Amino acid sequence: MILITTAGNVGSEAARLLVERHVPVRVLVRDSGKAKALADAGAQIAVGDLEVPESIDEAMAGVSAVVLVSPGIPAQELNVVASAARAGVEHVVKATNKASADSPIARRRGQTEIEAGLAASGLPHTLLRSNAYMQNTLALAPVIAKTSSFGSSAGKGLVGMVDARDVGAVAAEIAASPGGHSGKTYWLSGPELISNYDVAAVLSELLGRTVTYREISFDENKNAMINAGVPEAIAEQNAQAFSLTAQGDAEWVSEDVHSILGRPASSYQQFATDYASAFS
C-alpha cells in the first residue's frame, strides 16, 4: 500500500497512475467529497488531518511507501515523517523545491526544516526538487480570459516550468519501485527555459487572440494577488518567488523527468492545450 498525503495536483496524478498500474494506493484528505473522482477510480480514501497524528497513524496502517506532498508546513509534514517511522515504512518520496535555510521565502525555509527531519528519521527517502509548476499559470486564467493580459514581477526571468502531472508521474514511479532511488535528489523541470513572454505567445497562438504580458513591480504583484483573494502571507511569498525569478533563480532545466519516466517532460504548449478551456 502506498499512502499519498494530499489530493492536490501532484498527489492526485500520482494516485491516478498507481491505480492504473493496479498498485494499492490510499490518499489522505480532510474532505472525502473532494476526492470522489479518485475514489471512483479505485483509490482508497482516508479522512484525516495532518495536524492530528492519530489520524495519520490510522492512514499509515499497512503502508510500505509514502508520497509526501502537501503545502509544506513543517509541523504537518514532520507529523507524517514521525508516523512513517513508527510504522516502519520502507520509503518516502518527498515533493519539495529549491529549499534553503536562509531563503527570504518562508516556505523554502520550511522545506529545509522538513528535509532535515526526514534525514534525521533514518527513513530511506528520495527528494523531488521541482521548478515552478505550469499549473501556477492557471491562477492567471480568469484575468487572461477576461482581459487577454497578465502581469508579474518575474520580469524577463526564464523558468524551466514543469507540469505537475510529470512530478506526480515521477513520484508514482519511485514509490512503486523505490530500488536505487534511496538517498537521491532529482531536479524536475520541463524541457526548456521559458519566460512569461513565451507563455503569452503560446496562449496567443492557442486562443487565436493576442495575449500580452506586463512586467510589474513586487508591490503591484503582491497587491493584485491579495485583491484576487490570495491570503496576504501567501501573496507576499509568491511575489518574492517571482522577483527571484527575475534574477535568474529558476533558470535551470534537467533531464531527470526523462531519465525516470523514459519519455520527455511535457512542454508548456502541451500543458496549455490540455487546459485551453480555462484560459478561454
Phi, psi at 274, each rounded to 5°: -65, -30
Q: Is residue 278 part of a domain?
A: yes
Q: Given this model, what pLDDT does residue 181 score?
A: 97
DSSP state of 49: -
* Shared domain check, 43 and 135: no
Mean pLDDT of 46-57: 96
- Taking only the tens place, the pLDDT of each residue in 67-109 is 999 888 999 999 999 999 999 999 999 999 988 889 998 899 9
CA 104 to CA 190: how far, in whole Å?
25
Q: Is residue 71 part of a domain?
A: yes
Parent domain of 11: 2-123
Closest by CA to 133, choosing from 99, 96, 105, 89, is 96
Q: Given this model, what pLDDT does residue 34 score?
A: 87
Which domain CATH number covers 46?
Answer: 3.40.50.720
Decide if 202 contacts 268 (C-beta within 8 A).
yes
Q: Is residue 258 part of a domain?
A: no
Residue 213 reports pLDDT greater than 90: yes
DSSP output for 172-213: HHHHHS-TTTTT-EEEE--SS-B-HHHHHHHHHHHHTS--EE
* Shared domain check, 215 and 150: yes
Contacts of 208 (CB under 8 A, 6+ apart): none
* Shared domain check, 118 and 7: yes
Residue 228 reports pLDDT greater than 90: no
- Taking only the tens place, the pLDDT of each residue in 242-265 is 999 999 999 999 999 999 999 999
